Chains A and B, each alone.
Chain A
Amino acid sequence: MLKRSKYYEKKLNELFDKETLKKFKEFEEKPLPKYIRVNTLKTSIEELQELMKKRVEFERIKSFPEILRIKKSSINIGSSIEYLNGYYYIQDPTSLIAVKQLNPKESEIILDCCAAPGGKTTFMAQEMKNKGVIIAMDINKQKVRSLRSNIERMGVKNTIIIRGDVLKSKEYFPIKFDKILIDAPCTGIGVVRKDKKRAETLTEKEVKYFSEKQKKIIDAVTPLIKKKGVLVYSTCSILPEENEEQVKHILSKGFKLKEKKLFLNYELNTNCFFTAGMIKK
């Protein structure tokens, strides 16, 4: 059985009613299905299914036309020739919602300020048909390497990759962006199904650390959005300190909320994911 830190257990009890909690805990123990997002810059969902039909059994997911769930597979999904040709990215369907909320367009200039390893950057590029410009930034050297590798593998050509600190965005970018995605560094407590240890180690101190960091990131990038521009804030956490509180902070800076959603693990049988779309007044 999954071990949870005292703090995490306490938090769960505060957050959910009995019934939700029961379901939530049940799903934390369940194995996580694998999903792939088909790269329409290179192929179609039909072509990919046809190419891999002897090795992988897929299932399509309602309301996610780009996603396939792996039902059965005789190969490693992360090293097939189709994968290496950039025909797909291994990705939860919920992650796509953040990009859908951003709704990036072909003519726009976008900042993806915590971008590595590029799951959302490469989906944005797909939505933008490889046009416009995405500045994809991350601070971590190793992760920037994988960001670049994924961008090249997926055939993306509308990005400028920056290794840098989002807190210095104002120094780096004397421009205004149409849209910004903050896929914030977080406790990752929503991905317990992938990383069981997470439930055991979560502390209050950590939550404080991340929520302060998230606030700083918000303060650093919100001035760089154009009037009427869109900001999407997302995390893989279920904690209000990392989600609703941050949204409140953003709204206090002259934004209006369009839509926010917390996906719990049982809703789509995925990791948990929070995402909120806002518009600068």
Chain B
Amino acid sequence: MKWYTNSEKEKKLKEIIKKKFNFDLKEKIIFRDEQAFLVSKEIEEIYKKILRKPYSLGMYLGTFKKEFKPSLQFMFLLSKKIKNKIRVSEKNAIKFSYSNNIFVKQEITGEIIILNKNKLLIGYGKAGKEKRGTKIKNIQDVGWYLRKGG
């Protein structure tokens, strides 16, 4: 596991996030392998001083290799600010939160944030047209906290 900063990679990731979500990130990004973390000046300062490698720090943005996959924490933030999101029925919300794909009536395509009827985050998926309607393929969902978070 390696921690590093890389201004080119950082710039590229910020551009992708801007393009994909129309969302501006101002603070610095620090990487650990494929994981990207957004850090405040204060965090960065302490990170530079301490002699033990962190396990994680700041806000975990997600993984970035060729593509960027947002973390649940970042998705939560995005869900309050961006347009590409969809509200689904309670039944679909539950289904999706158990890592399943769902079908919806709305005609949409592309990556999208899934909310329940109270606008709470359920997850993130990829929508595409199918015979039965629009299928949203599960990429990540909040049930992760129970399945893997511990």
Chain A interface (Cβ < 8 Å from any Cβ of B): 42, 51, 79, 81-82, 84-86, 109, 131-133, 135, 142, 144-146, 148-153, 155, 157-164, 168, 171-175
Contacts and interface: CB of A to CB of B under 8 A. Distances in A.
Given A82-B120, A152-B71, A158-B40, A172 B146 contact: no
Interface stretch (B10-18, B49-57, B102-110, B126-134): B49-57
Nearest to A143: B150
B145 A149 contact: yes
A145 B147 CA distance: 12
A42, A85, A155, A163: which has the most chain B beta carbons within 10 Å? Answer: A85
B118 to A, nearest CB: 6
Nearest to A136: B55
B72 A142 contact: no
B58 A157 contact: yes
A133 B42 contact: yes
Contact of B51 (A82, A161, A173): A173
Interface of B: 38, 40, 42-43, 46-47, 49-52, 54-60, 71-73, 76-77, 93, 97, 116, 118, 120-122, 142-143, 145-146, 148-150
Contact of B93 (A81, A86, A131, A146): A81
B76 A155 contact: yes
Given A145-B150, A158-B40, A84 B57 contact: no
A86 B76 CA distance: 10
B120 A135 contact: no
Given A51-B118, A81-B116, A84-B143, A152 B51 contact: no
A84 B71 CA distance: 14
Nearest to B58: A157
Contacts of A161: 54-57
